[in-house]
Amino acid sequence: MRRPLTKLALFFAGLLLSCVALGQLAAGSSAHQVSVNLHGENSGPVRITSAPSGIDCPGTCVANFGAGIPVVLTVDPGNRTSWQGFWFREKYETGGGNFRNGNCIGPDGNGDVLRCFLQGTDDAKLDTQFYLEPRPGITGFTINGGDVYTNDPRVQLSVRWPFGNYFMTASNDGGFGKSKDFDLQDTIPWTLQSSGPERLPKTVYMIFNGGGNRYTDDIILDETAPVISSATVGDAGGSSILGLHSLSIRGHARKVTLRVRARDRTSGVARIQVGPRKSRKLKKLKFRSRIRVNAPGRKLWVRVFDRAGNGSRWKLVRIR
């Protein structure tokens, strides 16, 4: 004798049939995957998005889309980014035994390299190519904007790289020992090798993308201050030396002739400050061994600077 199915048994039987049906439906459909490889990601800013949404690269560079749903990728190149295009890493099947390879362009088929149209019939693996454009000018670099001297081993390298490169390598050694790699950028900080008081210039070497032409620039590193060996004053009458006026002197003052002897080992004495008191605000004027100055009191303070910017100690000159 057969017993009728209970309501609970009927519920589970219906649930089982629904699961089987969903499984068959899922088995009959397959999503397609799109992946984007940002080749040259250190060579300028870009943003790649998809329609429908899913890709937002950098960040999300792989996404799945429903079977048969077309996808359009669009790139937004940043400032000074030269976008070259999308390329299929593998053959892309479009159906009916047809394939696409090479570059991927927009849906209009008019050579639009800023977009990539995918029919949604196959997984797509895409490479990209883009470059950061250098500043206009001749390829190479300069130390501290082309200065001849510096008193600080910490300098700035201003760089113009060859178009189509991704990174640069700098070193204080011509054989690129203890070198350092940098992403492309207009200026990079660098530290010269300090070796004491010498007049030989410090040379920096640079290559791009790990090889090719070698570029150099040099600068004299002067870390020693000049020295005033003597400073005296006398009557200024009849002197043909050009006048020198301290910025801080006001009112009545008599003119005297200041005689200064100073020396510097490396870059040479270039500037002088003179005033009735020590002050960084005193104007730095071209150094001469004899100069006429206004002396409002019985003393003057003097210091000199070399071409690298090193300053001597202040020297007191008493006026009788």
The region of weakest confidence among 2-6, 77-81, 155-159, 184-188 is 2-6
Full-model pTM = 0.73
**Topology annotation, domain 227-318:** Immunoglobulin-like (2.60.40)
Which of the pair, 278 or 9, is modelled with greater confidence?
278
Q: What SS3 state is found at 7?
A: helix
Nearest one of 151, 185, 149 to 170, comparing CA atoms: 185
The region of weakest confidence among 52-66, 200-214, 226-240 is 226-240
65 pLDDT tier (thresholds 50, 70, 90) = very high
Please give the full DSSP string across the chain, using - where no structure is assigned.
-PPPPPHHHHHHHHHHHHHHHHHHHHHT---EEEEEE-TTTTSS-EEEEEESS--EETTB-EEEE-TT--EEEEEEE-TTEEEEEEEESS-EEEETTEEE-SEE--TT-S--TTEEEE-SSS-EEEEEEEEEPPPSS-SEEEEGGG-SEES-SEEEEEEEPPTT--EEEEESSTT-TT-EEEES-SEEEEEPPP-SS--SPEEEEEEETTEEEEEEEEEEE--S--EEEEEEEEE-TT--SPEE--TT--S--EEEEEEEEEE-SSS-EEEEEEESS--TTS--EE--SEEEEEESSSEEEEEEEETT--B---EEEE--
- CATH number of the structural domain 140-221: 2.60.40.10
Residue 304's φ and ψ, nearest 5 degrees, are: -125, 165
Query: What Å distances lie between residue 248 and 148, 281, 297, CA to CA?
Result: 31, 8, 13
**Confidence (pLDDT) at 195:** 76
Res 219 pLDDT > 80: yes
* Mean pLDDT to the nearest integer, 260-274: 94
13 pLDDT tier (thresholds 50, 70, 90) = very low
235 pLDDT tier (thresholds 50, 70, 90) = low
140-221 with 227-318: one CATH topology? Answer: yes
pLDDT tens, position by position, 277-303: 999 999 999 999 999 988 888 899 999
Cβ(262)–Cβ(269) below 8 Å: yes
Residue carrying structure tokens 């020693």: 224
Measured from the Cβ of residue 276, the count of other Cβ atoms closer than 10 Å reads 20
Map out the domains of the chain as residue ranges.
31-132, 140-221, 227-318
* Mean pLDDT to the nearest integer, 68-92: 93
Q: How far apart are CA 11 and CA 5, in angstroms?
A: 10
pLDDT tens, position by position, 113-139: 999 999 998 999 999 989 999 999 999
Note the Cα 266 to chain centre separation in Å: 31
Res 173 pLDDT > 90: yes
**Confidence (pLDDT) at 249:** 42
